[in-house]
Amino acid sequence: MSARILIVDDLAPNIHLLEVKLQAEYYDVVTARSGAEALKIAEKEKLDLILMDAMMPGMNGFEACEKLKSNPKTWHIPVIMVTALEETKDRIAGLEAGADDFITKPIDDFNLMARVRSLLRLKMVTDQLLSHTGHTSANSRPLIEKINKRVGKILLIEDHELRSTKISKPLLKTHKVLVEGDPVKAMKLAGSGIDLIIVSLVSNNFDGLRVCSSLKFREESRDIPILIVGDPEDEARLIKAYDIGINDTIMRPIELQEMHARVNTLLRRKFYADSLRDNFNENLEMVVSDPLTGLGNRRYFDRAIEPFFTALKEENEDFSIMVFDIDHFKRVNDILGHDMGDQILKEIAARIVTNMRAIDVVSRYGGEEFMIAMPKTVEAEALIAADRVRSLIAGTPIFVEGQALQITTSAGVAQVQQGEQLRDVFKRADDALYKAKQAGRNKVFPAVYKDAA
């Protein structure tokens, strides 16, 4: 499905003009003749972008935009304000109402499409992050309120001292600003936690478009929003800048309130995307890790050892697994309680992982059971390692709430055979663990091979 764009204008010819332009680019277009109608459509339909006429009878575009941005269901939809008004105060009013950008009439096709594509890219990234993290537009509002209080770290790439001072000085009241006139040095700074990059297109000593292109090409800076400063008559280069991937433009002479509004809008989007990405990484970690012990969980283990099976099949590279189980753990829980049981699990996990190699995969496989995979290891070597860990656990008391507890473990060890799957080798190792338990516990037993008599 193509991007869905809402056009809001009280005049039918204006709607038709924009509709033709957008449909020619294969966008799906919805229309509204008033601000009130636009609010209803935005509530009910999935929209990717809104083109809002500023001057309409009844509820004007500024009011409609403000209501959209204050609604938990619609605040995330990018809004481009369309206006015939060129005065700075009107542009500022649109941005302060929450508009993400504005274009003036008569509308230039290239300028319109450049801004539409830029905002649709941002909307697409936001939607992807929302879907991955389980956030919705409504429940993300507390996150946004917190983000609005953050201080941004801005890199200004400008080699003219007076121009750089005019930009950096007012921004320093609310943000941290680094000024660099050398593009090479600026590239290095871009990887140091920068939240926004402002690039001058009017420098005589470097090509601002080339700098933007390099920033978007480099992995460490490609996700940092870029605001470029240019001259109104340099429209061709400004359009090219959007094709490169910059996020916004501001024209000279710079109006300070407009600059603050554009900077703050870009920073909010950056912080929001960062927060969602952090949340996604945290959720991903929760999916594959055990919250009690900090070890990988069963899902993590199953995925982590896939390369070992590949190496065994393609290069005949040995690997072994071991299954550890805490002896009499149910009795420990029943007598001492689950809180102390959790402390014991954490201590056993720490002792196991600190006594294995860095290349070994250690996980809590479930309950009081731990699974370890040892690459490039035959069964005899794995047995020695398992018995060493067993001995260390048994030989040192575990202190919980002032009590010294003597805890032991049992283990089963199996070397993976050609053609085996994880369930096959796990069953063999688990059978060996059962035999170790039956033999009196605090022991390590080897597995029986499939082809053994």
- Residues known to be catalytic: 368
CA of 363: how far to CAs of 23, 293, 387, in Å? Answer: 54, 9, 18
Task: Dig out the tokens for 403 from the structure.
Answer: 């009590």
By the 8 A CB rule, do 374 and 320 touch? Answer: yes
The Cα 17–Cα 38 span in angstroms is 18
How far, CA to CA in Å, does 267 sit from each of 94, 162, 208, 272, 439?
A: 17, 24, 21, 8, 64
